[in-house]
Structure 1
């Protein structure tokens, strides 16, 4: 698994790198001391996992994640402070490690990463050969939120929105929550119909009513029903390629 370490303390990066030598599946592809260094590395190297400090000069760890365009890597926070834990999981963090990081605790975090990988494997080619397939607009799915249940055709779902460790589905006048990460959901949805607009949203292309230029080279799409979703600059390039003749 391609891994990037982001921490402003060189000693902390060195210690984490030493501990990660115990996990042969982890391939460290780079290190960054701050968000300005990390963002172009994330764009170029496309790591699958970030070990991310929170308090750093310039943008903090949360602001770095908000700046990532397109599909974000899985994240394990590493910090000397415990007061950010709740906010960390609002950002879909797989784990939250307090410094100094202990090997046993790191091992638990790596195990969570592996579990998350296994959870998304059915959407891969190997998974499809085992009977799983991408879900398209004509597929129906069972959705349960509390005491309410729906059997909904995916073509009716106009928008998927990340809400921490949950995803909110928008269809008709309903907005149920399902316990699943947006990354895992994206891997199951047919990209012909469903497009990752930004870090928080997947849109149903069939529901687009209006497209407008937006800030910094992005786009603003309006869905039937009035939802307005920003397509990030990086995703806007893919979006134009996807919909061009």
Structure 2
């Protein structure tokens, strides 16, 4: 991998620190060819200098980082957001960001971002022009990190008191969120509310079996078993009509 990168941050010390960390974790695989203080300077730089990746702050004087991407001319480079604000994670996956780093960034966390850049570059190299890596990613915060998890890798979201337990293909996350708020971020064509405390991805369900009183037993492909709430029968019945091969009893 040999990537040409720009660092965009209005704070000189932040730019300098990130450059040093990138030299440490990426070495010659990544070359910082530009440092920009705001969105306007980034856009002007991109007209003169091809960029493979942009390490982009969000809140800066003048137009913010998202505005820079909206005004971009030509194919977008890979984007890694580097910000002190965790609440922009939902917009980051809409922008198809490779990663979302919270300041202060550690060398370990930055190394993970560089590895994701390697993976994305390899994917781009294998792609045909008609391919599209447009998978939606859901921001899941773990401590000071925000993981952008592909939506189709989320199987079950379960409310546990004031927290959510999110069962994904690669493991489980625990977040302090309400189920109603989190469910609004999910594609309603992919996910079902099957209980007051459960949301499940429809494609993760292997078998559905009625157990009486308007409830169903849901067996998932990964072996997990769920019981739906009687008040949510209307959410499951359409799935049975669309997928008659799913056992209904």
TM-score, normalised via structure 1 length: 0.51
Q: What corresponds to 2:201 in structure 1?
A: none
Q: Quick check: 1:20 aligned with 2:22?
A: yes
Mapping for residues 213-224 of structure 1, pairs under 5 Å: none
| RCO comparison, higher one (Cα < 8 Å, 6+) | 1
Mapping for residues 139-218 of structure 1, pairs under 5 Å: 164=136
Q: Quick check: 1:42 aligned with 2:65?
A: no
Match 2:33 to one of 4, 8, 29: 29
Match 1:118 to one of 116, 122, 126: 122
CA distance in 1, matches of 2:79, 2:53: 6
Give 1:134 shift. Answer: 6.0
Give 1:161 shift. Answer: 11
Q: Give the 3-state SS of the residue equivalent to 1:112 in structure 2.
A: helix
CA distance in 2, matches of 1:14, 1:93: 22
Task: Evaluate the alpha carbon distance shift between residue 162 and residue 122 of structure 1 in structure 2; reply closer, same or farther with a 3 A threshold.
Answer: closer
Number of residue pairs matched by the alignment = 136
Q: What corresponds to 1:183 in structure 2?
A: none
Q: What corresponds to 1:57 in structure 2?
A: 61
Task: Evaluate the alpha carbon distance shift between residue 82 and residue 45 of structure 1 in structure 2; reply closer, same or farther with a 3 A threshold.
Answer: same
Of Structure 1 and Structure 2, the greater strand share is in 2
Deviations 1:187-214 (A, max 9, x none): xxxxxxxxxxxxxxxxxxxxxxxxxxxx
Any conservation in 2 of the 1:54–1:78 contact (CA below 8 Å)? yes
Deviations 1:85-136 (A, max 9, x none): 111111000000000110000000000000011112224xxxxxxxxx766x
Q: What corresponds to 1:70 in structure 2?
A: 74
CA distance in 2, matches of 1:46, 1:121: 17
Larger Rg: 2
Any conservation in 2 of the 1:91–1:164 contact (CA below 8 Å)? no
Structure 1: unaligned runs, 5 residues or longer:
124-132, 136-140, 142-159, 166-177, 180-245
How large is the RMSD of aligned CA atoms in angstroms?
A: 2.5
Q: Give the 3-state SS of the residue equivalent to 2:75 in structure 1.
A: coil
Mapping for residues 71-150 of structure 1, pairs under 5 Å: 71-123=75-127
TM-score, normalised via structure 2 length: 0.51
CA distance in 2, matches of 1:112, 1:162: 16
